[in-house]
Amino acid sequence: MGERLVTRGFVGRRAAPERGQRVPPGQYVTDDFPVLSAGPTPRTALADWTFRIEGLVGQPVSWSWPEFSALPAREYVVDISCVTKWTKLDTRWQGVSLDTLLEHVELDSRAAFVVAFCDGGYTTNLPIADVLNDRAFVAHGYDGAPLSPEHGGPARLVVPHLYLWKSAKWVRGLRLMERDEPGFWESFGYHNRGDPWLEERYSGD
């Protein structure tokens, strides 16, 4: 690699780097909400949409859209960080806690990991502790309006304490597992857990 040519006058879109506790290392704050995906935006009709919890549970459970929408939901205001280095502060969501969802199933004692599966085939994996105690929710609203398809609507997983690739868009359910099963990016060069505060971006970090 040769020496880098600095382009006179180029700064880029970043806001001034923030000091203090809110912005994880190596991140810059953005006011935008970049739309990034690994495939076409799915367009599942709400009449066909279901959310399922299956795997190591006593009985799998499934909600239709009207049923899911009726579940107790609350507002979450959280910061989100993408592994591509942008962080957005104070994003406002409306969603259902994973604690609420998991109350509807009987977890097998062997259930240690969760895989979130989505329209379009995307998956991501998490240890179960990362989704309990209000650490994760399924969002169906953003900024006071129904969650738009480009941002994962009708519903997406949001796990704010981990990099945003864990906040799976177009989520259709969770599978409880005994063994960890690396998801789409976790099986392809990215870190298995993805904690932005430890800069766990890549496998081997």
Smallest distance from the beta carbon of 63 to other proteins, in angstroms?
A: 27
Residues 82 and 48: their CA atoms lie apart, in Å, by 30
Please tell me whether residue 20 binds other proteins under the rule CB under 8 A: no
Smallest distance from the beta carbon of 143 to other proteins, in angstroms?
A: 18
Gyration radius of the chain over CA positions:
18
Please name which of 169, 28, 162 lies closest in space to residue 89, comparing C-alpha atoms.
Answer: 28
Facing residues of 64 across strands?
Answer: 50
Q: Which stretch binds other proteins (CB under 8 A): 27-35, 45-53, 95-103, 126-134?
A: 27-35
Facing residues of 157 across strands?
Answer: 138
Please tell me whether residue 5 binds other proteins under the rule CB under 8 A: yes
Please tell me whether residue 7 binds other proteins under the rule CB under 8 A: yes
- Binding to other proteins (CB under 8 A) within 37-56 occurs at 37-41
SS3 86: strand
Contact in structure between 168 and 124 (CB atoms under 8 Å) = yes
What phi and psi, each to the nearest 5 degrees, are found at residue 120?
90, -10
> Which residues make Cβ contacts (< 8 Å) with residue 134, sequence separation at least 6?
97, 99
- Binding to other proteins (CB under 8 A) within 81-140 occurs at 83-84, 121
Please name which of 198, 203, 170, 175 lies closest in space to residue 187, comparing C-alpha atoms.
Answer: 203
Contact in structure between 58 and 105 (CB atoms under 8 Å) = yes
Which of 66, 134, 189, 198 is close enough to bind other proteins by CB under 8 A? 189
Residues 124 and 104: their CA atoms lie apart, in Å, by 22
Please tell me whether residue 11 binds other proteins under the rule CB under 8 A: yes
Which of 73, 76, 185, 196 is close enough to bind other proteins by CB under 8 A? 185
Please tell me whether residue 6 binds other proteins under the rule CB under 8 A: yes
Which of 15, 22, 34, 127 is close enough to bind other proteins by CB under 8 A? 34
Smallest distance from the beta carbon of 189 to other proteins, in angstroms?
A: 5
Q: Which stretch binds other proteins (CB under 8 A): 9-17, 48-56, 70-78, 134-142?
A: 9-17
Which residue, 5 or 47, has its beta carbon nearer to other proteins? 5
Please tell me whether residue 202 binds other proteins under the rule CB under 8 A: yes
Please name which of 44, 183, 179, 203 lies closest in space to residue 116, comparing C-alpha atoms.
Answer: 183
Which residues contact other proteins by CB under 8 A?
1-2, 4-14, 32, 34-41, 83-84, 121, 150, 165, 185, 188-190, 201-202
